[in-house]
Amino acid sequence: MRILSLGAGGFIGSHLTHRLLTEGHRVVAVDASLEKVDDFIHHPNLTVIQEDIRRPGWDLNDLVADADLVIDLIAYANPGLYVKIPLEVFRLNFIENLKIAEACVRQQKRLIQFSTCEVYGRSAASLKHAGLRDPDDPIHATYTEDTSECILGPVAKHRWIYSCAKQLLERVLHAYGLEHDFNYTIIRPFNFIGPKIDFLPHEKEGIPRVFSFFMDALLTGQPIKLVNGGSSRRCYTYIDDAIECMNRIVMNSRGVCDRQIFNIGSPRNEVSIRQMAIMMREIYGERYRDTAVRLPDLVSVTGDEFYGVGYEDSDRRIPDITKARTLLAWEPTWNVRQMLEATMDYYVNRHRGAAATIAVGNA
């Protein structure tokens, strides 16, 4: 197929682009930054376009016209940004993404839209007056695409503007499906990890996701900060497992993905953020540490201290992946330790490579 991939230069986008090229597709990769596709930028079936989709008049319609399939991964996807620049998050994640969807509706092109597990919001166990017999029962935080409610916090907790923007986009796609027979597939990723996720804070200004903060603390010896003691829980999925599922959604054999929403996640990989920090520190100590260097301490901070006023956390989210199992015969295989080791190997080698280059340069 001729695939237009918007946001192809990102964490998920760069891995997906590589897989689509391996499958023999021709890919037009559009992104504001393309450094993460550097290692295969000269592939004969790859066309890269460095573009800011907010630029008026950029050639979205022509690119959609030339494509058999459109994939939209573009978004601000880091919680620090939801608190810091909520309006920009709304404009990019809803207004700009809606323009992409409507170009696909006009030209009747299938769209794969990346949404988020954050649409589910907070679990019922986090509600003050829920009166649950066993709040810790995983059923209260297990989410099914077509039947689970979406529980968000109050407006003053503007962390939820990301989730809300994505949820509204999903509802608009659903409406276009009903009223214009529009064909889309929505993907709700649950916390993917792998090489090329975000950036390390000591290398670039900004607020990445938790893995990058913990990896940076281990490499630089800074304390590991646990928001609210790291009690929140997540189910982590290794990027290679996720890409396998996405490839099956792209292929869409027998049209099983038409107008469907898919959770992509690993229900067996639930950890608390504290447990993840302890596991990363352990792995670092065993695999990379120069014994002279002391491993960093874990310190607890509040959400307001770490992200700013307006932050609220999603306490727990477990994906029900029955649909991906039954319609796509997909099953995640990587466990948390394996994915942390593989991802930490990537960053430690990259860090040491950079250090070696500097050393040679200084010599």
Indicate which residues carry an active-site annotation.
Answer: 162
- 114's contact among ligand NAD, ligand UGA, none, with CB below 5 to 8 A by partner kind, is ligand NAD
Q: Return the residues of window 90-129 that contact ligand UGA according to CB under 6 A.
A: 116-118
Place of tokens 């994505």: 166
Element (H, E) at 72: strand 69-72
Q: Which stretch binds ligand NAD (CB under 6 A): 11-19, 252-260, 278-286, 349-357?
A: 11-19
The only residue of 9, 13, 86, 189 in contact with ligand UGA, by rule CB under 6 A = 189
Q: How far is the CB of 48 from ligand NAD (least distance, A)?
A: 12
- 213's contact among ligand UGA, ligand NAD, none, with CB below 5 to 8 A by partner kind, is ligand UGA
113, β-bridge pairs? 72, 186
For ligand NAD, the nearest residue by Cβ is 10
Is 12 an interacting residue with respect to ligand NAD (CB under 6 A)? yes
Instruction: Give the three-state DSSP class for 33.
Output: coil
The only residue of 210, 239, 257, 324 in contact with ligand UGA, by rule CB under 6 A = 210
Please give the Cα distance from 203 to 342 (Å, whole number). 20
Is 160 an interacting residue with respect to ligand NAD (CB under 6 A)? no
Q: Return the residues of window 6-65 that contact ligand UGA according to CB under 6 A.
A: none
Nearer to ligand UGA, 162 or 284 (CB): 162
Please give the Cα distance from 18 to 20 (Å, whole number). 6
Is 318 an interacting residue with respect to ligand UGA (CB under 6 A)? no
Q: Which stretch binds ligand NAD (CB under 6 A): 60-68, 172-180, 189-197, 328-336?
A: 189-197
**Angle, in degrees to the nearest 10, between helices 210-220 and 336-362:** 50
Q: How far is the CB of 129 from ligand UGA (least distance, A)?
A: 23
Please give the Cα distance from 236 to 276 (Å, whole number). 10
Site residue total, ligand UGA (CB under 6 A):
21
DSSP-based helix, strand, coil % in the chain, nearest 5: 45, 15, 35
Q: Which stretch binds ligand UGA (CB under 6 A): 128-136, 177-185, 222-230, 353-361?
A: 222-230
Element (H, E) at 288: none
Nearer to ligand NAD, 114 or 182 (CB): 114
325 C-beta neighbours (distance < 10 Å), count: 12
Is 79 an interacting residue with respect to ligand NAD (CB under 6 A)? no
The Cα-based distances of 89 to 158, 208, 342, 353, 362 in angstroms read: 10, 15, 31, 35, 42
The Cα-based distances of 348 to 107, 219, 236, 249 in angstroms read: 46, 8, 20, 33
Q: Return the residues of window 245-274 that contact ligand UGA according to CB under 6 A.
A: 273
Q: Which stretch binds ligand NAD (CB under 6 A): 174-182, 184-192, 278-286, 317-325?
A: 184-192
Backbone angles phi, psi at 107, to 5 degrees: -100, 10
**Complete DSSP assignment for 194-245:** -TT-S--TTTSSS---HHHHHHHHHHHTPPEEEEGGG--EEE-EEHHHHHHH
- 34's contact among ligand NAD, ligand UGA, none, with CB below 5 to 8 A by partner kind, is none
Give contact residues for ligand UGA (rule: CB under 6 A): 77, 79, 116-118, 162, 189-191, 209-210, 213, 225-227, 230, 232, 234, 273, 313-314
